[in-house]
């Protein structure tokens, strides 16, 4: 009981963000399709659309594991994670009273349960998450992320990248973070991932080496000529603009990985030196803990394979009990094996006698073996190896 009270007292001190109600007309993407069908269709295939607890096996397994290990309610943890996973949630903290009620199974009908079951958040990061943001507070402490870092526009006021946008269905306001400084918007959530023990296990904001490079250039693609809305507001026609895809391609997208990193292999005395270069503006792997690069090195004599080595470039995590754990419960983490932004990593391996060629291939995986096993993830996507590059050294 002392442990429970200590936990819930800690929860009760969380800083509460201002909640702005989402009107019925705007609570899901169906209403947006009337004018923005192609944009909504692109978003539907994105992982932003899967950020809710019910739609992401990794997220669900992590929450359930945290609940078991910390003796906190699953719903209480979901509220805390909703900071970024469901920022339009109508509550921003569970609190001591809720945790006690949950232990006693008296939480049915509570504001927390109602908030988590609301269809306002069922679509995850949908239109009224990004396009209802009015202000982003970069001046706040770095621990304040997601819902705690933004102010919302009133329901029915959409923020966007165009000065002249207008609609008969909602008000439109221009905001610089939608066009001039989109990194500011992305980093509201994609920065400073912190464990329950206070360990920052991923911080893409600190990794970025060149602020002039925009996240959206890769993850939303280059601008193309098209229409953002089908409304006929330009002399009886839909207005043509420079627009981007809303598919938000990322680590889960196979096409993002081909040639994302560069490989070079040389013989150096009695060793084989494999250099992995990263031309990207952030570390790889990055974006979340336990992601992995898999390096496969085959030593061949003609067509015959003499030896094959597989190396894992990933991050290991240790709990306060000195046992392997997931990022969100880690007190310590192992050596950073990622390839730094605009940098490189050299891996030296002993040469094998009789080798006439060395074939090197590089792959990416969303979750390493250790964390995947701890969370008992079943979907093949978590173990799938996505091809990045390969090269052959003739000896």
Complete domains list, the chain, with CATH: 2-243 (no CATH), 254-394 (2.60.40.10)
Tell me: pLDDT of 166 over 80.
yes
Cβ atoms within 10 Å of 127's Cβ, excluding its own: 22
Q: What is the pLDDT of residue 273?
A: 97
Q: What is the pLDDT of residue 209?
A: 64
Tell me: pLDDT of 50 over 80.
yes
State how far the Cα of 25 lies from the Cα of 30, in Å rounded to an integer. 9
State how far the Cα of 129 lies from the Cα of 27, in Å rounded to an integer. 10
Q: What is the mean pLDDT of residues 164-170?
A: 91
Question: Torsion over CA of 113, 116, 117 and 123, rounded to 10 degrees?
Answer: 180
Beta strands in 195-269 (DSSP E): 200-202, 224-227, 240-243, 262-268
Confidence of residue 192 (pLDDT cuts 50, 70, 90): confident
158 contacts 170 by C-beta, under 8 angstroms: yes
State how far the Cα of 85 lies from the Cα of 90, in Å rounded to an integer. 13
- Residue whose pair of structure tokens reads 């081909």 in the numeric block: 258
Tell me: pLDDT of 25 over 60.
yes
Q: Which residues contact 130 (CB under 8 A, 6 or more apart)?
A: 185
Tell which wins on pLDDT, 207 or 329: 329
Confidence of residue 65 (pLDDT cuts 50, 70, 90): very high
Residue 50, preceding peptide bond in cis (omega within 30° of 0):
no
Evaluated on CA atoms 124, 130, 133, 135, the torsion sign reads positive
Q: What is the mean pLDDT of residues 209-222?
A: 86
CA distances from 340 to 211, 343, 369 (A): 15, 5, 22
115 contacts 79 by C-beta, under 8 angstroms: yes
Tell me: pLDDT of 95 over 70.
yes
Tell me: pLDDT of 5 over 50.
no
């Amino acid at each position: 009981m002392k442990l429970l009270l200590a936990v819930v007292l800690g929860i009760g001190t969380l800083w509460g963000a201002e909640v702005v109600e989402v009107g019925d007309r705007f609570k899901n993407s169906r209403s947006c399709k009337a004018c923005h069908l192609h944009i909504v269709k692109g978003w539907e295939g994105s992982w932003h659309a899967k950020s809710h607890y019910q739609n992401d096996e990794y997220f669900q397994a992590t929450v359930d594991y945290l609940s078991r290990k910390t003796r906190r309610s699953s719903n209480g943890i979901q509220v805390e994670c909703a900071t970024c996973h469901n920022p339009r949630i109508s509550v921003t903290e569970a609190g001591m009273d809720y945790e006690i009620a949950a232990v006693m199974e008296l939480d049915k009908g509570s504001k927390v349960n109602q908030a988590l079951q609301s269809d306002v958040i069922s679509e995850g990061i949908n239109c009224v998450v990004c396009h209802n943001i009015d202000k982003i507070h970069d001046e706040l402490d770095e621990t304040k992320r997601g819902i705690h870092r933004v102010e919302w526009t009133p329901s029915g006021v959409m923020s966007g990248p165009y000065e002249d946008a207008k609609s008969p269905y909602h008000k439109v306001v221009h905001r610089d973070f939608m066009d001039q400084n989109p990194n500011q918007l992305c980093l509201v959530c994609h920065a400073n991932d912190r464990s329950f023990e206070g360990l920052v296990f991923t911080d893409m904001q600190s990794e970025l080496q060149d602020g002039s490079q925009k996240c959206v250039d890769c993850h939303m693609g280059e601008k193309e000529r098209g229409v953002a809305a089908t409304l006929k507001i330009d002399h009886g026609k839909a207005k043509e603009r420079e627009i981007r895809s809303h598919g938000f391609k990322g680590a889960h997208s196979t096409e993002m990985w081909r040639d994302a990193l560069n490989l070079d292999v040389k013989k150096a005395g009695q060793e084989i030196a494999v250099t992995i270069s990263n031309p990207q503006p952030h570390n790889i792997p990055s974006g979340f803990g336990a992601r992995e690069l898999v390096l496969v090195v085959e030593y061949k004599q003609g067509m015959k394979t003499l030896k094959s080595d597989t190396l894992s470039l990933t991050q290991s995590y240790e709990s306060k009990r000195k046992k392997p754990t997931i990022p969100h419960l880690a007190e310590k983490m192992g050596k950073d094996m990622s390839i730094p932004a605009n940098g490189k990593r050299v891996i030296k391996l002993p040469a094998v006698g009789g080798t006439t060629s060395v074939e090197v291939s590089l792959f990416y995986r969303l979750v390493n073996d250790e964390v995947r096993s701890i969370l008992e993830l079943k979907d093949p996507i978590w173990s799938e190896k996505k091809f990045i590059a390969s090269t052959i050294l003739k000896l």
